[in-house]
Structure formats: structure tokens, C-alpha cells
Structure 1
Amino acid sequence: MNNKYASLFEPMKIGKTKIKNRIGMSPMAASGMITPHNCFDKRAAEYYVERARGGAGLIITGGVEVENEIEQTKLGIFQNISTNPVAFALNSSEMIERVHAHGSKIFLQLTMGFGRSLFLDFVDSHPVAPSAIPHFWEPDVTCRELTTNEVEYMVEKMAEAAKVAASAGYDGVEVHAMHEGYLLDQFTLKAFNKRTDKYGGDLRGRLQLPIEILQAIKSEVGQDFPVILRYGVKSCIKAPHQGGLPGEDYQEHGRDLEEGLEAAKILEEAGYDGFNADLGSYEALYWAHPPTYIEHGCYLPYTKQLKEVIDVPVLTAGRMDNPEVAAEAVTSEKTDMALLGRGLLADPDWPNKVKSGETDKIRPCLGCHDGCMGRLESGKVISCAVNPACGREEEYKLHPPLKQKDVMVVGGGIAGMEAARVAAIRGHKVSLYEKNNSLGGHVVEASVPEFKKDERELLRWYGQELKENDVELNLGTEVDSQLVKEINPDEIILATGAKEKIPPIQGIDQDHVLTACDALMNPDKVGKNVAIIGGGLVGCEIAIWLAQQNKQITIVEMIEELMGAVFVSHANEMMLKDMIKHEGIEVKTDTSLLEVQENEIVTINKEFKKQNLNADTVLLAIGYESDTKLYEELKDIHPKTHLIGDARTVQNIMYGIWEGYEVARTL
């Protein structure tokens, strides 16, 4: 083991429970991994056990509901311990035994609810809150204020759930959540709690609920059973429905750092055994679920101050998947344990690889949220963009083929590299052909901005994987039907990608008109005043990149909102939009490009009003179209031709990887 990572592998205690190392799995909702009785199903068990097998010292499950009478969420989304407590304990016990077999501990996260933050599509009852306040997602809807009796009932259900957890064999529980603006957090925040009963008033009054929950749990399970709290040190709320960006100067409208530290001292004195500390709220969802635009270890400046005022362990997530960042944080006492959420989805073996000094083999998380949070938001089962086996570990295991085949992969973008990697791991003889002199496809251009460095790391990882698995690389080789006939492979996987769209607009062929890829690879060609045509994810990211270079940017988008044509996870979308405002980027929606002139463009909006805008550079980011030329030539000639990735349908990185994995695992 490399000595610089040694601090991550020192044992520690939470309460009296000993944990073998200082690497934990951060809680994330195991959405959809659920039995008819709302228990963890077999897929959930495999999901958690895989992370224990990978070396995590502590597993914290996603939030489990404790009641469904007051806040009635739809069945099939979240696990619920109150539906059938006996079945929940039985289902959990085997999973716990398997986690323990790998020397790991497992805590069950218990949630008293979501309140104003719950997606209305997920709930059958009227939304509730501490007070009659607007719902976050639907501000025209006013949440119903919970009665004192209802709150006391929820406290009882939390205690009952903890008792079931202890009987099942869980090593502790985490109270969800005095963070991110969930229901418990809403009770503790002055902005949302206007109550006059024992659960309102000053800070101590607003902390009455988490204290009562702790006291009720301890009375059921005893003082030695660890109870930790998911805790937001700071809310990062700049204004109602408005988050505060990293480095931005604003007045906190939620819990500021001073109150966060004071509240932690009160809660420690009440008896909490540890704090799983982070930042954020639904107003600043990108702090609670940091995208690629936020630095690794983003909570550490705050958890360092938290550790200075309390003595119980502090656990910290927040893009801690960089081993150097995680180890330094523990060594310098900014945290006691590094929690990885998405990092362990991307690579469950992260702890073992760090311990064995194989950090270069860690598959990187992109901070994209496409496979995890985005799946939950769109009503799908949690997984990972770069790890298709996440959440379906047993079904998606790779097995040797009955017969080794010669597999020809055409296209060295993400989809092609994943297909080649997986086919080679299974034992096929794989040759990959790429017409350019380097691998990566359009991800090469997309990874240029500094905030996309994780995509550069993914490209490096793929190059290493292809080499280690003996994939034959043929760079600078354009494949045609004649070459395919000469090679005559058993299977052909076409991952020929997509070409940028060029609209048939007057003046579009002038030298100062660049595609997004041209601009990213040739930044010297970009002038001072830039009109970006297209306000999708690509256009918005390039706008931020150029604005940070002091360019004057205008985004022209034909529909009514930015990033409205394709799904982008809420955290990423919110942060990009806030960054666009912060950088002073001008946005013109419901507006189309009509003509490109020498130093300006002509636009027209939905009211048919024309406008001339200064632009010494016009940058096209209107999307891509599939390149199916080779497929059309081969589909009737070679019976075993598979079309994947953007060549099949233009989508995001996740679907390119998933399609490459799916096709290659079944050859």
C-alpha cells in the first residue's frame, strides 16, 4: 500500500462500533430495487454487497421510509420498513450477513419524509411541511402544516424502524435528514418553520425534532447502538428558489455556517454518535449533489470547521473519489471518513485498488448524474453512466463465451471502446479500427474545458483498458465494405458515431462560423463576441468555458428554455443556469438564427421580430446526426452487424457505454 493513502485504511469507531477503514459508501436512494412488500430486493443486496466486496469499511443504505400514512409516496419507488417490518428484517438479514463476511459494517438510513421537496409525481397525498409554505417544485401548491400529533407519530415510527433495523442485524442507523432541505431539515430552518409549538421558535426549539428522534431511537435500541445524522452544515440558499454558487458572495437565507456549527454542538450534546456532513438544499441542489462543475472534496473547508467544534466522528462525501483528496482530508483531520457515493457506483473496487496501489485502474465518475440521480428523477432504477453493471450486478456479470470469435469494432469513440473492452475481457479476439489517429471520438473535444477533466481521465482509462486486454488497435484506418470483406470477422460492431449538424442558412459557410468541435479544438479561432447557436447541454457548457476566458457570449436557442430538448439532471441543469447568470451571458430563447453576416447575425423570435446581434464568431451547437453510411453498406452483406452508440441514436455518453456493454456481453 502506498503510504500516502495509509490514513484511509486506519480503523475507526462510531460510538462503540469498530470500522475497518475510513472509506464508506455514501447513502443514495436505491430507487426501484424493491420487493412487493417495500423491502430491499435481491438486486439491492447484490448492489450493496458488491461495494463491501470492493473494500468499503462502511455501507450506508439509501433512505428507507418509516411510514406511508401522512406522506403517502407511490409504491415501488422507495423502500418502506413499516409496510411489513418482519419481511423487511428477513430480507435484510441475509444481505447484512454477506456484507459482514467482507469485514464491512452497514447502517440503515431512515427517513421521516421529504416535505416540500418531494416530486409531486411520486406522492399520492397532499404535500406536507412544518408550516404552510410553497412546494419547491410547484410553488403554486401550498404544503399542509403537520399537526403536533402527526410529528410525534413520525418520531415514534422512526424509533420503531430503528428497532427493526437492530433486530435485522444492521450495525447502526442514520437519521435522514437534517440536510438538503428534506422534511426534517425544513423543521430546523427558520425560513420554512413558522411553528409556535415545541417544534418551532428559536434554534433550540427548531432542533427539538431531531433530538426527540434520537432520544426515541436510543430508548428502543439502547445507548450503544450507533445513531448518526445526515447533516447539512450550510444550506447555500441565496434567495427563495435560488442557490449560491461556489465562491459567490451572498447572504445565506437558510442555515449559515455559524448556525450550522452551533446546531452541531447542541446535537452532539444530545447524543448523536456522528455526523454525515455536507452542504446544500433543493435551492442549491448542485451543492448536495455536486456535478462535474464543482471541485473534488468540495465540502472539506466546511467539515474542517465542523470537526473543530465537535468530538464525534465526521463523515464527508462531496466528490471524494480522488484518492489524493480523500487521503489528505483524513490525514489533515478535515474529516474522519471519506464517503464515496457515485465514485463507488462507477468503481465498486475503489478501496481495494487504492490499497493495492492501483489507483490508475480506477474507473472515474464523470459527475454527470445521468445514471444515478437522473435515473431517480426520471422514474428509473439507479445505475451508473460509466458502469452499466451497477444496480444489476448479478444479471450483468461477464461470462466467457461458448466459442471465441473474431470481433471487428469500427469506431474508437466511447461506445466502440466499451464494446471492444468488454468483448476482449470475455475472451474474444478483438480488433478496433478508428479513422482518426487517436481514440475518443467527440469526447476528445468535449473534455477540453477544465471542468470536464474527469472525461479526459475516462479516455485515459479506456486507453489503458484496451491495452491491458490485448485489443488490436488500428488507428488512422478508415473502414469500408471492401476491408470488411477482406477481414471477414465473425461479428462486426459499428460505432461510427455522429456528425455535427450544419443548418442551411445564408452565410453559414463563412470562416468565422465554427462548429462546437472546431471551437473546442481551436480556441484561438474564437473571437471576442461570440454567438452560440443552440442552448442545449453542449452550447451551455461551451458558453461557460468561453465566458471564463472573458469572451462576450450570447446564446440563441429556438425553444423556450435552455437544455429543454433533452433530459439533464436537475443538479447539473440548475448549476449551469446559475453559472450562465453569474457569468453575465446573454440568453435569447424562442429565437432562431436567420442569417450570418460579416460581423453580426440576424435572428428572429417567435413573434417574427428580427434582431441584429454583434458576433465576430458564430459557434454552432445545434446537435449531431448519426453516421450510418457504413452500416447501410454492410447490413445486408454481413449478417452479424451491430449498430451502437451515436451511430444508432444520438444520445449521451451513458447510452454509448451501455449499448457497447450490452452488445459485447452477449456476443
Structure 2
Amino acid sequence: MKYKKLFTPVKIGSVEIKNRFAMAPMGPLGLSDSEGGFNQRGIDYYVERAKGGTGLIITGVTFSDCKVETQSMPNCPNSTYNPVHFIRTAREMTERIHAYGSKIFLMMSAGFGRVTIPTNLGEFPPVAPSPIPHRWLDKICRPLEVEEIKSIVKSFGDGAYNAKRAGFDGVEIHAVHEGYLLDQFAISMFNQRTDEYGGSLENRLRFAREVLEEIKSRCGDDFPVALRFSVKSMIKDWREGALPGEVFEEKGRDIQEGLEAAKLLVSYGYDALDTDVGTYDAWWWNHPPMYQEKGLFRVYCKMVKEVVDVPVLCAGRMDDPDMALKSLEDGDCDIINLGRPLLADPDYVNKLRCGHTDEIRPCISCQEGCMGRIQEYSMINCAVNPQAARERATAYEPILKSKKVMIVGGGVAGCEAARVLATRGHKPQVFEKSSRLGGNLIPGGVPDFKEDDHALARWYEVQLRKLNVPVYLNYEVKKEDVLNSGYDAVIIATGSSPKVFSLGDDAHVYTAAQVLNREKDCGGTTVVVGGGLVGCETALWLAKQGKKVTIVEALDRLMAVNGPLCHANKDMLERLVPYNGIEVVTGAKVTGFKDGVLTVKIAGETKEISCESVILSVGYREENSLYHELEFDVPEIYLLGDARKVSNIMYAIWDAFEVANHL
């Protein structure tokens, strides 16, 4: 078996893990109850990943401090808020996880400090090691008193003791990583203290050392304690992160200090280092969007592994099993951390073990269902997997009678509806007017950084084939086809079409889809009209080919109406645009294109831009005419995806799942 090495055991401290896969910690927003225990959604969510074969489950961040940085409840679990209740709910979860041969660590946090996300953690004065600027708010943080540090340290011992009683196999400390509170103490840029917690590297790591010593004293040396650790900060300045390949002066922790810190932390007794790079000031490193290369942390993990003698865990878009295998063979790391890939497919590990790699549902790194919803709504989900963190509420509904269902449109909404209907025992048939399934995934997945869009389209092809769903390509359905077919139900998922308007010389005015699909050549200089997500990604793709690109946007900033986009995705794309030489003109209205000159109006003044072509990326219009032709003639008819309302991949999939699961 090609991937057998990925299924060899490994130890963290005294705990043996059955394979080399861990579930990376991801914010457990929505998985706690009002007493700080795990709610049923949280229990089901983690158990499902254990059932799927993951060797080690690392929960999302939980808290133990109830005095210094108080949390809004319910939010994340808290191991000391109501200890009896925490142990009771967590025990149910750990017992079920152990039934599948998996181990589970509780991630315990010292707090967020200057990086608290206001929508998640309520309104309270932000704290930090020193009076430094908050990451998001226009506020200066309050320095922690020594007594408060001691209080937090003690809470770790109490919380870890409760975790051990609850059946957890170990804990992971959150974190000398990403600029959280412990990391703020460890980084001299943030830590300006002159007491025993400031100054030298050893003093700045004192907080992390005392946390470890407190837990070991309460739980014993054989209770493993791992640490989430960032070896390099990637900070150019306050709230300014570096881009991949950018030459800059590191203001946070550089690699030299990072490796020295790694050696010190292991000498203190940490049993594993869960390693990455980045901070909230450079958020697109710790939460890598599709614009980051896959496996971006491997080189940094290898540096750490070469100077420590404990297991090193590596996350960061590690869903390619060939890459994961090579990382083990090359000595980059000991354990592969899968975060978002296990949101997308909880059965990833078992499918890989059995060689069914074509059945693994891909993560597309959009972060709309996970980080986007965490930052906006305090809940973790997944754009491509509607059942993630809702396993019981969205379990497949049993059917009494199988129905024959006609699905018009083979985009993501039509494909997801067909998949769910066939899984439940209905008999769907898909009719697609183009030559392949996928809809807007096809042009959207053309840029190399969007390759997983095409992977998702292929996944749907595989799923429908395995479920024996008839698919009719190059078939444009008419009203008569539906009325004369004898279907029990009809789903219209005919998608959307790009909005277009005349600019004069329309022979050289194209849609983004035409250029992405290579139906039209935009030439060496082009203007993209529309600075939304599609416009910016198209411009970036073209600029990377060496073309001179200008974006013209009517609003005062790029991506003003997209959302909820994760800050990591949005902020990185905003910075990649100028970094790749793309000129941006905002507050501008295009008025015409003639003889290679585009005219735009900005604040009443006319500006001329020379270009070989103009690419329109000004949104999409619902294609719902067939639905309206049929809505009074078909008793059971549904309108889904962009045909119902132009939105994003997540809502197309989610809405299709909802309807198909209750049809």
C-alpha cells in the first residue's frame, strides 16, 4: 500500500497514536453549552472525525481562566467554569472517541490578549503583556498584573486536571503561536515588560514554562503536554504582514530566535511542537487561503525538527497525500495535521487507508464556512460539507417512497442535490446544457491557486457515477421536456449568467468567464471592470502571466460587497493586487471603450486608460426563466443555487442539501 508509512504508530510522550494523522485545532465556536461543557453538536463533530480514522483529535481552543479574560457564554468550552458539568459532557465525548481507537487532546488557551475578535468574545478591556495597540480595535491594551498571570497559570492546572478526569489523553497549549496571549509575552515587539516576564527570551517564555510546570505538577509527567508554536512571525509592522517571497525586516520573532525558543520549550518539558508560522498581523499564514501554496509550513517544521527531539506536527494545506507521505520520508515532520480537510471530509483518513482517494471531498480553502462564519457569527461550519458541526441536525432523512427527480443544471447546486437524493434512495437524473459538470467551478478553477475548485467538480463526477445517477450533458431542457417526463419532482438549478453592458467597441469586451475559459484572449494589457472577488482573482491570474492589468471599481474599495470573507483571504488578496503590479482605480464609472482606450469618470473628471481589451466582472444575473415557465404547472418544484439567488459556493451547496434532504 503506497501510503502505509502514514499509518504507522507514533508516540507523543507516553501516548501512542495509531497513525500519523491529527485533527488540527480549529475554533470550536458553537460547540459549547452555557455551562462551558461540550454540547451535542460538539460531541458529534469530534466523534465523527474519530470514526473517520483520524489518529489524534485536537479540540479547538478551550479556556480555563474565568477571572482575567472573561468569555461570553456559551462560546468555547471552559474546563473550570463548571468542572462537574465539563467532565460529564467531555467524558461522553472521549469515551466515544476512544471506541474508534483514536486519542484526543484538549487545547487549552491562556487567552487572546490583543487579538480578541470583538464579535466573538464580547466587550471587555483587552489585556496584553504591555500597553500595546489592539489588533482590531482602536484601543491600547491593559498590561497584565503578575497576580493575574499567576491566576491564569493556576487555572491551567485546574483545567488540565479536569481534562484528565474527563478522559483526555493529553492537552495542547494555546499558544506560543499566531500572536495569542502566550505568544505576545514571547515576542519582544509586544512584550515591553521589565519584570521577570520581560526582557530576555527565557523571561519572555516564563509564562509558557510556568503553564507547563503547573500542568505536570497536577497531572503527572506521563500526561502529555504539546504546544502550538510559530517559529516565525512574518510581521512587517503593526497590523502589517509579509507576503510569500517578500523581502522584509522581521519585527516579530525571526527564525533564529524561533529555533532557540523551540529548544528552550522542549528543554522545559513540552512533549510535542505543533508548528507553523505567522501571527494575526499576518493572518494569511496561520489560516492559509488558496493564494498560499500547499504545504507551506513544511520547510519551517523541518527546521524545528532538526533542533528538537520531540514529535513535530505540520499543518497548512497538507491534504495532498503524496505531499504528506514525502514530508514524513524527508523528515519534515512526524505527524500530519489536517484542519479544514477534515471539515470537508471527516472520513479522509479511512478513505486514504483504503485507497479511495478519488472519494475524498476536497477543501477549497475558501474559508467561508469556517473562519468566515467564526469571525462573523461565532460558529464553525464548512462550505462544501453542510453536515460539518451539524452532524445530528443534518443526518440523512429516511424516505418512505423513492421519487424520480429531474434536476436541470449540473453546477454545484444540481450536483449536491443529486448526490443527497441518491444517497437517501431517490432516483435523480441530471441534465446539463454544457459539456461537463461543475458550473461556475469550471472558470473559477482555472487559476493555479484555485485548482481545488476543479477537484470539487471531479469529486461530484465521481460521486454521481458511484451512486449511478444518470447525467445527460449537452442537453438544454425545455418546458415540454419537463411536462412530458413524468417526474415526481423537479429541481431547477440553471445557475446564472455574467452581467454585460455595451461600451462601444464590444468586439474586445469580454466576460471574466470567457477569458478564464480561454475562449477569448485579452492581450497584453487589459482592464478588469469590477473589483469583487472574481474580478480581483482574474486580475491576479492575468498579472501572474506577465500582463499589465488595471482594476476599475465603482465603489471606494475592492471587495466591498463580498462576505463574509475570512480576513485572511480578503486581506491577502487585497495586498497581492498591488504586490503583483496591478493598478487599482476606485470610485470610477466606465463610460466607453473605443480605439483601445477605456474612458472612466472619477469625481466628475474623465480619465483615459489604454488597453487591448476590457473584462467585465460586474456580477451575475439569475437564470430562472425555466422555473417561471413551470412554477404553476409542476406540483413539486424547487429553485436552487444561483438560479434562486446569486451567491457563493457555500450557499449553493447548503441550500441544495437542505432541499434534497427533505424531499
Structures share fold, TM-score greater than 0.5: yes
Q: Distance in 2 between matches of 1:583 and 1:6?
A: 41
Aligned to 1:571: 568
Residue pair 2:87, 2:162 contacting (<8 A) in 1 also: yes
Aligned to 1:608: 604
Instruction: Give the one of 359, 365, 377 matched to 2:375.
Output: 377
AA in 2 matched with 1:644: L
Q: Distance in 1 between matches of 2:187 and 2:594?
A: 54
Residue pair 2:641, 2:656 contacting (<8 A) in 1 also: yes
Aligned to 2:231: 233
Are positions 1:662 and 2:662 aligned together? no
Q: Distance in 2 between matches of 1:113 and 1:141?
A: 18
Aligned to 1:620: 616
Q: Distance in 2 between matches of 1:371 and 1:380?
A: 11
Matches within 5 A, 1:167-182: 167-182=165-180
AA in 2 matched with 1:652: N
Task: Kindly provide the CA deviation profile for residues 194-223 of structure 1, in whole angstroms up to 9, marking residues without a partner as x.
Answer: 001111001111111100111111111111
AA in 2 matched with 1:609: E
Aligned to 1:597: 594
Matches within 5 A, 1:157-196: 157-196=155-194
CA gap 1:582/1:523 in 2 versus in 1, 3 angstroms: farther
- How large is the RMSD of aligned CA atoms in angstroms? 1.2
CA gap 1:523/1:240 in 2 versus in 1, 3 angstroms: farther
Aligned to 2:87: 89
Are positions 1:645 and 2:644 aligned together? no
Q: Distance in 2 between matches of 1:119 and 1:589?
A: 29
Q: Distance in 2 between matches of 1:354 and 1:333?
A: 21
Instruction: Give the one of 34, 37, 60 matched to 1:36.
Output: 34
Residue pair 1:604, 1:611 contacting (<8 A) in 2 also: yes
AA in 1 matched with 2:497: K
Q: Distance in 2 between matches of 1:390 and 1:473?
A: 27
- Does 48-57 or 437-446 show the bigger shift? 437-446
Q: Distance in 2 between matches of 1:236 and 1:104?
A: 34
Task: Kindly provide the CA deviation profile for residues 111-148 of structure 1, in whole angstroms up to 9, marking residues without a partner as x.
Answer: 1110111112332211111111111112x311111111
Q: Distance in 2 between matches of 1:550 and 1:239?
A: 29
Aligned to 1:347: 345
The structural deviation recorded for 1:362 is 0.7
CA gap 1:619/1:506 in 2 versus in 1, 3 angstroms: closer
Residue pair 2:33, 2:75 contacting (<8 A) in 1 also: no
Q: Name the SS of the counterpart of 1:437 in structure 2.
A: coil
Q: Distance in 1 between matches of 2:652 and 2:483?
A: 26
Are positions 1:336 and 2:308 aligned together? no
Instruction: Give the one of 514, 517, 522 matched to 2:518.
Output: 522
Q: Distance in 2 between matches of 1:300 and 1:224?
A: 29
Instruction: Give the one of 570, 578, 595 matched to 1:581.
Output: 578
Q: Name the SS of the counterpart of 2:434 in structure 1.
A: coil
Q: Name the SS of the counterpart of 2:296 in structure 1.
A: coil
Q: Distance in 2 between matches of 1:565 and 1:48?
A: 34
Aligned to 2:125: 126
Could you tell me which runs of 5 or more consecutive residues in structure 1 were left unpaired when the two chains were aligned. none
AA in 1 matched with 2:331: E
CA gap 1:417/1:609 in 2 versus in 1, 3 angstroms: same
The structural deviation recorded for 1:523 is 6.6
The structural deviation recorded for 1:314 is 0.5
Residue pair 1:156, 1:216 contacting (<8 A) in 2 also: yes
Q: Distance in 2 between matches of 1:38 and 1:530?
A: 55
The structural deviation recorded for 1:498 is 0.5
Aligned to 2:304: 306
Are positions 1:540 and 2:536 aligned together? yes
Residue pair 1:410, 1:495 contacting (<8 A) in 2 also: yes
Q: Distance in 2 between matches of 1:519 and 1:263?
A: 49
Could you tell me which runs of 5 or more consecutive residues in structure 2 were left unpaired when the two chains were aligned. none
Aligned to 2:277: 279
Residue pair 1:420, 1:466 contacting (<8 A) in 2 also: yes
Residue pair 2:32, 2:74 contacting (<8 A) in 1 also: yes
Q: Distance in 1 between matches of 2:290 and 2:211?
A: 35
The structural deviation recorded for 1:240 is 2.1
AA in 1 matched with 2:125: H
Aligned to 2:135: 136
Aligned to 1:259: 257
Q: Distance in 1 between matches of 2:657 and 2:34?
A: 30
Residue pair 1:71, 1:123 contacting (<8 A) in 2 also: no
The structural deviation recorded for 1:598 is 2.1
AA in 1 matched with 2:174: H
Task: Kindly provide the CA deviation profile for residues 522-557 of structure 1, in whole angstroms up to 9, marking residues without a partner as x.
Answer: 276111121111111001101110000111111111
AA in 2 matched with 1:184: L
Q: Name the SS of the counterpart of 1:487 in structure 2.
A: coil
Aligned to 1:429: 427
Task: Kindly provide the CA deviation profile for residues 423-462 of structure 1, in whole angstroms up to 9, marking residues without a partner as x.
Answer: 1111111111111122111211111111111111111111
Instruction: Give the one of 218, 221, 227 matched to 1:220.
Output: 218
Q: Distance in 1 between matches of 2:398 and 2:595?
A: 60
Q: Name the SS of the counterpart of 1:62 in structure 2.
A: strand
AA in 2 matched with 1:467: R
Task: Kindly provide the CA deviation profile for residues 140-191 of structure 1, in whole angstroms up to 9, marking residues without a partner as x.
Answer: 3111111111111111111111111111110000110111111111110011
Q: Distance in 1 between matches of 2:39 and 2:606?
A: 58
Aligned length: 661
Aligned to 1:291: 289
Residue pair 1:502, 1:620 contacting (<8 A) in 2 also: yes
Residue pair 2:510, 2:520 contacting (<8 A) in 1 also: no
AA in 1 matched with 2:635: P
Q: Name the SS of the counterpart of 1:283 in structure 2.
A: helix
Q: Distance in 1 between matches of 2:654 and 2:453?
A: 16
Q: Distance in 2 between matches of 1:145 and 1:530?
A: 51
Q: Distance in 1 between matches of 2:482 and 2:27?
A: 46
Task: Kindly provide the CA deviation profile for residues 80-115 of structure 1, in whole angstroms up to 9, marking residues without a partner as x.
Answer: 222211110111001000000000000000011101
Q: Distance in 2 between matches of 1:124 and 1:295?
A: 36
Q: Distance in 1 between matches of 2:618 and 2:292?
A: 26
AA in 1 matched with 2:620: Y
Task: Kindly provide the CA deviation profile for residues 230-279 of structure 1, in whole angstroms up to 9, marking residues without a partner as x.
Answer: 00011111222221122222221111111111000011000001101111
Residue pair 2:197, 2:204 contacting (<8 A) in 1 also: yes
Q: Distance in 1 between matches of 2:124 and 2:379?
A: 23
- Does 557-566 or 18-27 show the bigger shift? 557-566
AA in 1 matched with 2:32: I
Q: Name the SS of the counterpart of 1:525 in structure 2.
A: coil
AA in 2 matched with 1:575: M
AA in 1 matched with 2:222: D
- Does 183-192 or 65-74 show the bigger shift? 65-74
The structural deviation recorded for 1:488 is 2.4
Aligned to 2:629: 633
AA in 2 matched with 1:132: P
Q: Distance in 1 between matches of 2:129 and 2:605?
A: 48
AA in 1 matched with 2:44: E
Residue pair 1:16, 1:226 contacting (<8 A) in 2 also: yes
Residue pair 1:72, 1:124 contacting (<8 A) in 2 also: no
- Does 590-599 or 57-66 show the bigger shift? 590-599
The structural deviation recorded for 1:77 is 2.2
Over the matched positions of the two proteins, sequence identity in percent amounts to: 47
- Does 119-128 or 465-474 show the bigger shift? 119-128
- Structure 1 runs of 4+ aligned residues shifted over 3 Å read none
Residue pair 1:409, 1:493 contacting (<8 A) in 2 also: yes
AA in 2 matched with 1:201: G
The structural deviation recorded for 1:286 is 1.0
The structural deviation recorded for 1:293 is 1.4
- Does 485-494 or 521-530 show the bigger shift? 521-530
The structural deviation recorded for 1:628 is 1.0
AA in 1 matched with 2:340: R
Q: Distance in 1 between matches of 2:86 and 2:595?
A: 68
Q: Distance in 1 between matches of 2:527 and 2:395?
A: 47
Aligned to 1:392: 390
Q: Name the SS of the counterpart of 1:363 in structure 2.
A: coil
Taking structure 2 as the reference length, the TM-score comes to 0.98
